[in-house]
Amino acid sequence: MAERGVHAIFSPRLYIQYPQGGVSAGEIGMQVEHWDATVDGELSEAALRRKLERRGYRVTRYVYPPGTCFPAHSHSVDKIDAVLAGHFRLVIQGRAAVLKAGDAIEVPRGVLHSAAVIGAKPVVSLDAIKV
């Protein structure tokens, strides 16, 4: 498990498979939270990190190169995927959303989801794990 401030770079086509189980896909809704500069101020890595940490999450920064895909998997913890740069497509319970800078989405423990970098630019992501 990565510690706060640790940066990780993933290779294209890296696949990670997590154990399945927990909440079924039909038990959650999919809602993208958008950065609101009038409430949250100017979007920056520090500001987004603070916002997630205030909610009780441990935050790690990742960079995913173009072509990176994560097939359907689940996690044993509640998490939030937030994007600082690039376009990151997430599919949760069959519904897709493309996250861009300032977007975040909650992924409850046990819920199957997949993700992929969209386009030619890397995704800079803050991965937040509920503590």
Q: How many domains does the chain have?
A: 1
Comparing CA positions, the residue from 91, 93, 102 lying closest to residue 126 is 102
| Domain enclosing residue 47, as ranges | 7-130
What is the predicted pLDDT for the residue at 94? 85
Q: The domain that contains 108 carries what CATH number?
A: 2.60.120.10
Instruction: Confirm whether pTM is higher than 0.85.
Output: no
**Residue 1, in any domain of the structure:** no
**Residue 2, in any domain of the structure:** no
Rounded Cα–Cα distance for residues 40 and 27 (Å): 30
Q: Is pLDDT of 2 > 60? A: no
Q: Is pLDDT of 91 > 90? A: yes
What is the predicted pLDDT for the residue at 29? 61
**28-39 pLDDT per residue, tens:** 467 899 999 999
**Residue 110, in any domain of the structure:** yes
**52-79 pLDDT per residue, tens:** 999 999 999 999 999 999 999 999 999 9
> Residue 42 burial (CB < 10 Å; 0-12/13-18/19+)?
exposed
**Residue 85, in any domain of the structure:** yes
Residues 6+ apart with CB under 8 A from 50: none
Rounded Cα–Cα distance for residues 110 and 62 (Å): 21
Which residue type occupies 101?
Answer: A
